Chain A
Amino acid sequence: MTAEIDTTATPSAAKGPIDRAAGMGRRWLRLRGTLGVLVTQLVVLAAFLAFWEYATGQNKAAAFMFGSPSAISKFLSQMAYDGSLWRDTYVTGLETLLGFFVGNCIGTLIGLSLWYSRFVSRVVEPFVIALGSIPIIALAPIIIIWFGTGLISKVAMSTLSVVIVALVTSYKGATGVDPDQINLLRTLGASKFQIFRKLVVPASLTDIFAGLKLTVGFALIGAIVGEFMSSSEGLGHAIFKAGSLYIIPKVFAALVATIALALILTFAVGKIEQLLMPWRRQLR
């Protein structure tokens, strides 16, 4: 039996110091690239804020209409000081997370299990398209009648804005599995359930996570729209109230908190993706 291995391959275990140095060099280049992007982004943001501050500083009416970075930060620190910033962010964050979780669980479960039966998925398809085309804001009044004005109705709004997207992306992932790969498992004697568990589910993870990243925003929109309709707390409530009182910098202050929330949630999903799909880190 030969113990030879392909000469074309470079086992990393046998990498020499030169290879390792080259690897470090490449990593440094990549880091420098990321750093360059980050610095440019900060410069653009700073320039935008400076222009905003300058333009609204010249004109009282403009300051009233558009707020200004300094006024926004004043409101932010005031809201942080009186605790409403944390309270509102917590409430909206909780609604978003719950809606995101419930919507994705239900949607992904249905989407994946539709793989099982071509018949059922064909029956269900037009209904899914019909449900997906309903603007969720149109459902808000009914949701409030059904679920009241508390947490549950916002979670329901958030769930509804997530569930169809999750269903469609996970179904797309499940049906996109290479039929040759399914055949291979069949020749290895796999049952339909084994094919589902060992092949279809992990193969769909890439699409499922694409859906998760997309639905972070949708879940947040659902929660905020719910708060707009009727609420006593949350960032949507803060935005709505400040807006109706014409306190525009405060509207922007609550928006900044909303954006921060979206960024944190998206970042968290990305981290979970890396944890759950370690093989993707070795690509590149």
Chain B
Amino acid sequence: MTEVGGMMQFGPGATTAPVPPLVVEHVAKSYELDGGRTVPVIGDLSLTLGEGEIVSIVGPSGCGKTTLLNTLCGLLAPDAGRIRWHGREVAGQPQNVGYMLQKDLLLPWRTALGNTMLGLEIRGVPAAQAEDRCRAMLDQLGLHGFADHYPSTLSGGMRQRVALARTLVNEPDVLLLDEPFAALDFQSKLLIENDTVDLVRKGRRSLLLITHDLEEAVSLADRVIVLSKRPTQIKAVYDIALGADRRDVISVRQAPGFSDYVRSIWADLDVVLQ
């Protein structure tokens, strides 16, 4: 399964053109229903996620965004096409990829700290070192003093912050987020968006963000990909050039041109109101 050309890029001195962390080529995916019928969900999809790039994906609900994300991180197998992480096709789960959903998926029997430590624990990082890193990450995300709280005692926004800490503490090169902030109130959402973008840009990480919130898509991303209805294809791509400090998602919303992007994407989505 290993791509020889891709391997070469890892050799010493072979860094003329950096390999993008994620390249998707002509991926297709359908579901087999119980009756034997197949439902094509992803038609034919190609995209590239560059290093340090933030790409938002929007599309009508049910068009296959979650399916795409699960396919990318190896939880589902594509029917066709190639997915290359750092130039290589991988069997199973790719390394150094962070994955986060709308559901925080915190384990109720673990404290905020325990939940954050999950990934490091699995990889066998010594407990004391893992704990230090996790406490620092929780502090960075504004959860100082909450490390020993159980999830049931935290608010929705704080729980999602713990989930973000659990993802980021593993230092992933690429984050795949599936509507991570959709369940939060407006204020918590803006704050956590800001922290996410800040940490992602500071760490030169790449982020693929699925969202149905168009303002979120535009304010966070360098590029917005609009998907069509099922079987999904790319309908439009917007390079977001807003000039402002892209680490401040709140001021970006005031930048001239912001609402034009939102309006065009809205038109692309072609939402039919009954």
Contact = CB atoms under 8 A, between A and B. Distances in A.
Interface string A145-172: 0000000000000000000000000000
A190 B107 CA distance: 15
A32 interface: no
Contacts of B191: 2, 4, 6
Nearest to B170: A188
A279 B150 contact: yes
Contacts of B123: 188-189
B143 A5 contact: yes
A1 B199 CA distance: 8
Residues of A in contact with B, size category: 20 to 34
B101 A202 contact: no
B155 A6 contact: yes
Nearest to A12: B153
B122 A3 contact: no
B142 A187 contact: no
B108 interface: yes
A11 interface: yes
Interface stretch (A19-27, A175-183, A223-231, A267-275): A175-183
A8 B75 contact: no
A13 interface: yes
A189 B155 contact: no
Contacts of B144: 3
B22 interface: no
Given A8-B155, A187-B75, A282-B152, A198 B122 contact: yes
Interface in B147-169: 149-150, 152-158, 161
A187 B99 contact: yes
Interface string B80-106: 000000000000010101110101010
Contacts of A187: 73, 75, 93, 97-99
Contacts of A188: 118-119, 122-123, 170
Given A8-B155, A184-B99, A13 B145 contact: yes
A7 interface: yes
Contact of B142 (A3, A185, A283): A3
B158 A9 contact: yes
Contact of B105 (A6, A180, A194, A277): A180
Given A8-B188, A283-B152, A202 B107 contact: yes
Nearest to B123: A189
A186 interface: yes
Contacts of B108: 279
B140 interface: yes
Nearest to B75: A183
B105 A184 contact: yes
* Most chain B beta-carbon neighbours within 10 Å: one of A4, A5, A6, A189: A6
B152 A1 contact: no
B257 to A, nearest CB: 26
A199 interface: yes
B153 A6 contact: no
B238 interface: no
Contacts of A178: 103, 105
Given A1-B195, A2-B194, A5-B142, A190 B157 contact: no
B15 interface: no
Contacts of A3: 142, 144
A33 to B, nearest CB: 22
A190 B109 CA distance: 18
Contacts of A202: 107, 109
Contacts of B264: none
Given A185-B118, A186-B75, A2 B195 contact: yes
B147 to A, nearest CB: 11
A56 B103 CA distance: 63
B73 A9 contact: no
A180 B103 CA distance: 9
B258 interface: no
Interface string A250-269: 00000000000000000000
A184 B177 CA distance: 12
B101 A9 contact: no
B101 A5 contact: no
Nearest to A195: B122
A186 B75 CA distance: 8
Nearest to A183: B75
A6 B191 CA distance: 8
Contact of A189 (B75, B93, B105, B146): B93
A190 B122 CA distance: 6
A283 B149 CA distance: 11
Given A3-B144, A188-B170, A194 B122 contact: yes
A146 to B, nearest CB: 41
Q: Which 5 A-B pairs have the closest CB atoms?
A: A6-B157, A9-B155, A187-B99, A188-B119, A279-B150
Given A6-B161, A203-B107, 9 more contacts: A1-B195, A2-B194, A3-B142, A9-B157, A13-B145, A184-B101, A187-B73, A187-B93, A279-B108
